[in-house]
Structure 1
């Protein structure tokens, strides 16, 4: 093996030994923290040992990444993507779906089974937020070609500029609809914001009006006799 060791030598070792995998970490001297490059070997670039690049064998990866998060117990490291997990059970669950960090790393894909899990429904009823009304809007835009720097190695090749919009206000409880309101012209984005501000004023004027709850005797009896929630179907406790 040539010295000083070049990181490319590890690719050759893996080609000659397909049953093993070597991952390399780079040590950031200014922050004294490991930076994953591709976790059992670390690379240092100081001149402590008379050469610029040298590699150290990491015997306990959990200790190396101990300060990466607020979790101050043993961390379980994924060799595929270098993410750490608080428990071995969490790591095992992650490994089933880990996309890895290499270009051709496998990623698990599961298909739904007809009649078993091919239907999705909302279940987090406790996180629902009351929405008396919703605003539904749609924009149309011109696609203007351009070629300019967009940060780093990215370049912006096209830019969309809104030329029209349409929106309506739908009231959930009553089913009433305000609109649709259509606009075509200049400064469509600014005009949309201005109109939405006006709609919010009108909506608040409606919401400020207090209404008595409409509750009949039949409603009260139905509620008293119910044995399960009419939304989630869970049995009452």
Structure 2
């Protein structure tokens, strides 16, 4: 019966116990995981239960010589300045108690931390909501030993967490969230927005007058890859022999995947997305992977040779007139500005020095010892002019429009720098396994890859070649 009630109760009792959190006691040594020297900690050597009060007084009234010794003598004269009404002694590690202490002492901003032995870092116990220089900052550290606790003064919070970041120079640390800044400017911008670790909001950043418009500035991405290779492998499955099965201990495999053929197509494309097939290859045989690597490296050499000789510029009727009348760059859409007198003067000086070098070499018959330096200065001075130039497609030679000198260089195609994507369907899930077996066959010094896990690779760079998935 679900609606039955008991006829009588033999015994009914309620037990109530007071909650007494563990309060700090006498002196406790610092944990072994904490830095022993230059840690910014003052461990008060008290023999009573008033370590919280001594630590607060020690932070408010610092002593230069042995501030940890005999707190009664050093800080006894300042005890009456602390309002400890309704604060239990010893002071427990409790947020309501800390809030009550701040209510009693409105000029103090209190932060309490705890040392985490396993991770060797600080944990938050209490973070004050009082911000500003008008408050006296008091930073305390709680250390525990079995059922005992003890407060210490954090004299320098920066020293205590110095090794928490790789930056080894001057650091600026926020006491409310322990975020480290290497520059004072970023630290001061952070302080008004910081809401401590647990209540950290998303940082609001409103647009300013000169930076209120989002625009495209990565102009080098306007130039498509001139070459791309589409490829795929064919793989057969062969059953394992009994001898091969015995070599496997932890897994049971039934078949072995062995490449038996490949096919690839090399496609060249200009900036107008007009493409043409340059070469292709189809092969079947037991050495398919090794042959594939050899053929791809030959194709890479052919691509480098082709890109090293860009097409000559082809000007259609009216292009020269439109170039002379143009007032803005077709790449960045910004107007052409007349160079300053200072830039023109530097260019003329660099040009004059370069002519002197050529005359010296013509008369002596040897290379000038500072030829490379002077040539570099000339190129820099020429680039500073940011003059108007004609931009054209290096693949088909067509004139594209007027451009700044710097913008034109951003669309430059490097014969040895421009990546050649090799696109394969399901490269990440399957074909990358087979390719990794012969990746050492490539004649390069360094390989880079983006692994998804130990068996899948999203992409792989082999020198100038970049293997990608079609998705």
- Assess if the C-alpha contact under 8 Å between 2:140 and 2:153 holds in 1: yes
> Please, which of 77, 90, 105 is the counterpart of residue 186 of structure 2?
90
SS of the residue corresponding to residue 92 of structure 1 reads helix
| Cα distance in 2, alignment partners of residues 99 and 129 from structure 1 | 42
> Please, which of 213, 216, 220 is the counterpart of residue 120 of structure 1?
213
CA drift at 1:100 = 3.1
The residue aligned with 1:209 is 276
SS of the residue corresponding to residue 187 of structure 2 reads helix
Q: Which has the larger radius of gyration?
A: 2
| Cα distance in 1, alignment partners of residues 218 and 321 from structure 2 | 24
SS of the residue corresponding to residue 14 of structure 1 reads helix
CA-to-aligned-CA distance 1:1-21 (integer Å, 9 cap, x gap): 411532332121122234432
Unaligned 5+ residue runs, structure 1? 133-200
TM-score (norm 2): 0.28
Distance 1:107 1:32, change over 3 A: closer
CA drift at 1:109 = 5.5
CA-to-aligned-CA distance 1:51-81 (integer Å, 9 cap, x gap): 5222211010110110011101232111332
The residue aligned with 2:100 is 12
CA-to-aligned-CA distance 1:159-201 (integer Å, 9 cap, x gap): xxxxxxxxxxxxxxxxxxxxxxxxxxxxxxxxxxxxxxxxxx9
| Cα distance in 1, alignment partners of residues 113 and 139 from structure 2 | 8
| Cα distance in 1, alignment partners of residues 173 and 206 from structure 2 | 28
| Cα distance in 1, alignment partners of residues 108 and 315 from structure 2 | 71
The residue aligned with 1:233 is 334
> Please, which of 48, 71, 74 is the counterpart of residue 167 of structure 2?
71
- Assess if the C-alpha contact under 8 Å between 2:165 and 2:180 holds in 1: no
| Cα distance in 2, alignment partners of residues 207 and 53 from structure 1 | 75
- Assess if the C-alpha contact under 8 Å between 1:99 and 1:107 holds in 2: no
> Please, which of 83, 86, 101 is the counterpart of residue 197 of structure 2?
101
- Assess if the C-alpha contact under 8 Å between 1:125 and 1:232 holds in 2: no
| Cα distance in 2, alignment partners of residues 57 and 127 from structure 1 | 55
Distance 1:226 1:95, change over 3 A: farther
SS of the residue corresponding to residue 72 of structure 1 reads coil
TM-score (norm 1): 0.51
Distance 1:123 1:36, change over 3 A: farther
Distance 1:31 1:121, change over 3 A: closer
- Assess if the C-alpha contact under 8 Å between 2:140 and 2:152 holds in 1: yes
> Please, which of 141, 144, 157 is the counterpart of residue 42 of structure 1?
141
- Assess if the C-alpha contact under 8 Å between 2:172 and 2:184 holds in 1: yes
Between 219-228 and 38-47, the greater mean CA deviation after superposition: 219-228
CA-to-aligned-CA distance 1:139-165 (integer Å, 9 cap, x gap): xxxxxxxxxxxxxxxxxxxxxxxxxxx
Greater helix content: 2
- Assess if the C-alpha contact under 8 Å between 1:96 and 1:108 holds in 2: no
SS of the residue corresponding to residue 71 of structure 1 reads coil
- Assess if the C-alpha contact under 8 Å between 1:36 and 1:82 holds in 2: no
Between 212-221 and 58-67, the greater mean CA deviation after superposition: 212-221
The residue aligned with 2:113 is 25
SS of the residue corresponding to residue 91 of structure 1 reads helix
